[in-house]
Structure 1
Amino acid sequence: MRTKTTARRSFLLGAGAFMAAPAILKNSRAYAATPTLRVGHVSPRTGPLAGFAEADEYVLGGIEKAFAGGLENNGKTWNVEIISKDSQSNPNRAAEVAADLILGDEVDIIVAASTPDTVNPVSDQAEINEVPCITTDCPWQPYFFGRNGVPGEGFTSTYHFFWGLEDIIGAFLDMWGQSGVAKKVGGLFPNDADGNAWGHPELGLPTPLAAAGYDLVDPGRYQPLSDDFSNYIAAFKNAGCEIVTGNMIPPDFATFWAQAAQQGFNPKVVTIGKALLFPSVIESLGDRGDGLSSEVWWSPSHPFSSSLTGTSAGDLAGGYSAATGRPWTQPIGFKHALFEVVADVIKRAEDLEDPEAIVSAITGTNLDTIVGNVNWANGPINNVTKTPLVAGQWQKQGDAYDLRIVANSAAPNIPITADLKILG
């Protein structure tokens, strides 16, 4: 049977003899009275994607408590050590810290979340080094095709759960269909992995929007952290766009939205992925945050509970707010679910000293988590399984904003909590 040492032997030999000692120490650890399994975690704690990691400290604290007594595998209790590193919202840094976790800390499993800028480089490092990897919080198309995945072949060590662009398109169309506004849509797509996937002629939004009778105006890719959206705004005004959509980081949307007001562009529906996920971003926009809309991957209203702690979605979100004084955010559920899957895999793996046995346990997952069922046998493509998606709108309640679910046709078990309002 293949051990961790043999699985990485080719790299270790190429890297030099100094790498051999940690590998030997790692194996000796497994035969201790209470062996330790190491889980690496990569997340954008700082930089423009930091909103995705805002709840990391709270979630990881809860997971460490749940793991405190160890996890049982084949009659033996294993300690679980989590080693978390900051990608700084930079793909190159994400790859660097993933390599550190794999080759320096010698983790047994690595996990990552928060957009292709984090997920893809971490997954690539895991695939190269044959380390079991589980990721989330990135649509599956930029995850799979952004890593040059080949349908029918896929990857060996890396697995992903989230929704796909087909789901977000369905959720957006469901919401827009209630609005009664003109089917003219302005598209804002950055020149990055997400933007290129969302704007892709066949795999992204253009083809399905056209099939649904919508005219997408796409002026082309903009560079992230752009300071001027005048050309885009002019194109949208000239075309009579009443809907604006796309995938942006928060600073880019704030710039666009301020310039739209200055230049007299007032769309009736604004539905932006990524940028409008977080209450802190909406609050920073003041009154102009009211009525903006986005996809909703997880909320306190989701009818799911943790397989690890039994905590409901509502209680997990409420616990975060009580502990921090801040509003709940969507990544809380998926960050928690990552470690639900890790715990389940640890308990079921035939041999935690064998990476292939861990991968086999990942592929055999069929787990009801706090974000829904995770089962790689039911995926749309190799190495991918999907979780449900609905659409929501930020609506002001007193002095605070709340993300209300306004469209749920693809997941009717997730309840609608408000009617869609038109901007202006």
Structure 2
Amino acid sequence: MTLFDSKNQISRRKLLAGAAVGLAAPAILYRTRAYAANPVIKVGHVSPKTGPLAGFGEADEYVIAQIQRLFNAGLQNNGKTYTIEIITKDSQSNPNRAAEVAAELILGEEVDILVGDSTPDTTNPVADQAEVNEVPCITTNCPWQPYFFGRNGDPAKGFEYTYHFFWGLEDVIAAFLDLWGSSGADKKIAGLFPNDADGNAWGDPKLGLPPALAKAGYTLTDPGRYQPLSDDFTSQISAFKEAGCEIVTGNMIPPDFANFWSQAAQQGFKPKVVTIGKALLFPSVIESLGDRGDGLSSEIWWTPNHPFPSSLTGESSADLANGYMEATNRPWTQPIGFKHALFEVTADVIRRTADLDDPQSILEAIRTTDLTTVVGPVNWAVGPVKNVTKTPLVAGQWQKQGDKFELVVTANKHAPEIPTTGEFKLLS
């Protein structure tokens, strides 16, 4: 192994390779044939497949296997065919673990591009490892403020190696206000924000929900940050009942919301609207709540009705969702779209890179991306800060139809290209 890159300069990544520490469960390597015929580009991928955030990684196996079959046929770059090898690892919903496996992919597997997704618990440590080790990195599925400011990003400088696409807190606030404005519920809001990167960003008194809610005429009751995996929400529920809150919002992991919602019933707290980020995104969580899942609401970042086709396969969002449901016998889930889009962007970057042996050339291809993916446009020339570009966001509600729950879009004022599919209803 040489310590010099294609420009005859010392390679920091290879110099540090001996410091790679070790290393837990082996990666899942999506390899289905010998690669001797074509040069190989390695793509490292990290997401939470286990732990409290496992809902974000539920569709990983299906989506990545589908993408790898396409990659096995090769991607064209400057008249040469490259085979793309995806090596995926589990962050276990733990930031320390995410950093560890990202370092393993960089220093041990020597990946050419690192990608990651699903909440700042994974995206931030993955991006930090890429930045320090000078590896091009693309992440998604985390509001941009926890990603950017959670990594101490400076809007005037940004980052060099790490790029992100998703919506921001300003978009989720706008979508929630659109949702609540048609509900008829009183403007007294209960806030549930955990003491983690997401919760601290959502509840931030300057950049989070509080100032926007106040500007819109809502009164927020915020009892302060609770510790993730809490088993007692009595103090919060008491504060909400005393304030007469009719709307509950915040950002929670599924186990925390399940505890809160069960205790709310036990203690007689009956809000008319419950709109929670993160916890209420997945059909498996809603199904686990039984009838008390009916009418819960959340932001919606991707659905089978999104109007954008895949730039990689030409499939519609409905095609992607139906393929997943047929193959797994499980309901579609929102991360399918962003997982697919992450590799759409990666493939586009690989095709356009002038010199795939040069990380700076890969970075230039990332910076100049202008691609419509299955989740919407990705273009880093247009963004709220350097290294970030945004995708559209709507909001909606889980409604029981027969013996199944359907996630229907009920508020699309700020992304009218995504159609509504139902009317919002108050909780019974």
Q: Distance in 2 between matches of 1:307 and 1:187?
A: 39
Query: 1:380 & 1:127 partners in 2: Cα distance?
Result: 20
Partner in structure 2 of residue 102 of structure 1: 106
Between Structure 1 and Structure 2, the one with more helix by share is 1
Q: Deviations over 1:234-273 (max 9, x none)?
A: 0000001000000000000000000000000000000000
1:162 and 2:161 aligned: no
Could you list the runs of 5+ residues in structure 2 that have no partner in the other structure?
Answer: 22-35
How has the CA–CA distance of structure 1 residues 152 and 374 changed in structure 2, closer, same or farther, with 3 Å as cutoff?
same
Residue in 2 that maps onto 1:35: 39
| Cα offset, 1:33, TM superposition | 5.7
Query: 1:151-190 to 2 correspondence within 5 Å?
Result: 151-190=155-194
Task: Tell me which amino acid in the other structure corresponds to 2:121.
Answer: D
1:387 matches 2:395: no
Q: What SS class does the counterpart of residue 316 from structure 1 fall into?
A: helix
1:87 and 2:87 aligned: no
Q: Compute the displacement of 1:68 (Å).
A: 1.7
1:289 aligns to what?
293
Unaligned runs of at least 5 residues, structure 1:
20-31
Given that residues 195 and 227 in structure 2 are in contact (C-alpha distance below 8 angstroms), is that contact kept between their aligned partners in structure 1?
Answer: yes
- How many Å apart are 1:12 and its aligned residue? 4.0
CA spacing shift, 1:131–1:17, aligned 2, 3 Å: closer
Q: What is the 5 A alignment of 1:333-412?
A: 333-412=337-416
Structure 1 4/393 Cα, relative in aligned 2: closer, same or farther at 3 Å?
Answer: farther
CA distance in 1, matches of 2:6, 2:107: 11
The alignment's TM-score, normalised by the length of structure 1, stands at: 0.95
- Residue matched to 1:269: 273
By how many angstroms is 1:329 displaced?
0.3
Query: Would you say 1:9 and 2:49 are equivalent positions?
Result: no
Cα distance, 1:318–1:158 mapped onto 2, change above 3 Å = same
**Preserved contact between residue 298 and residue 371 of structure 1 (Cα < 8 Å):** yes
Any idea what the Cα deviations from partners look like across 1:39-94, whole Å, max 9, x if unmatched?
Answer: 00001111111110000011001101111210010111011000001111110000
> Which residue pairs with 1:255 in the alignment?
259
Contact 1:8 1:129 in 2 (8 A): no
**Alpha-carbon distance change, 4 to 196 in structure 1, aligned in 2, over 3 angstroms:** farther
Cα deviation per residue 1:363-396 (whole Å; 9 max; x = unaligned)? 0000010000000001110100000000010000
1:15 is displaced (CA, Å) by 5.9
The CA deviation at 1:34 is 1.7
Q: Where in structure 1 do 4 or more consecutive aligned residues deviate above 2 Å?
A: 2-19
Q: For residue 146 of structure 2, what is the aligned residue in structure 1?
A: 142
CA distance in 2: counterparts of 1:61 and 1:345, whole angstroms: 20
Structure 1 residues 181 and 6: CA distance shift in structure 2, 3 A: farther
What CA deviation, in whole Å up to 9, does each residue of 1:190-213 have, x standing for no partner?
000000000000110000100000
Are the structure 2 counterparts of residues 18 and 399 from structure 1 closer, same or farther at C-alpha, using a change threshold of 3 Å? Answer: closer
1:374–1:395 Cα change, 3 Å: same
User: What's the offset of the Cα at 1:3?
Assistant: 3.6
What letter corresponds to residue 236 of structure 1 in structure 2?
F
Tell me the amino acid that sits aligned with residue 9 of structure 1.
S
Question: Quick one: distance in 1 between partners of 2:345 and 2:212?
Answer: 33
Equivalent of residue 312 in structure 2, options 308, 312, 315: 308
* Contact map agreement 1:35 1:77 (CA 8 A) in 2: yes
Letter in 1 for 2:426: I
Task: Say if 1:4 and 1:355, in contact at 8 Å, map to a contact too.
Answer: no
The CA deviation at 1:359 is 0.5
Aligned-partner residue type, residue 72 of structure 2: A
**In structure 2, distance between residues paired with 1:5 and 1:57:** 37
User: Corresponding residue for 2:210?
Assistant: 206
Q: Aligned letter for 2:165?
A: F
Instruction: Tell me, in whole angstroms, the C-alpha distance in 1 between the residues paired with 2:342 and 2:77.
Output: 19
Q: Is the 8 A contact 2:17 2:108 kept in 1?
A: no
Q: CA RMSD in A?
A: 1.7
Using the size of structure 2 for normalisation, the TM-score is 0.94
| Amino-acid identity (%) | 72
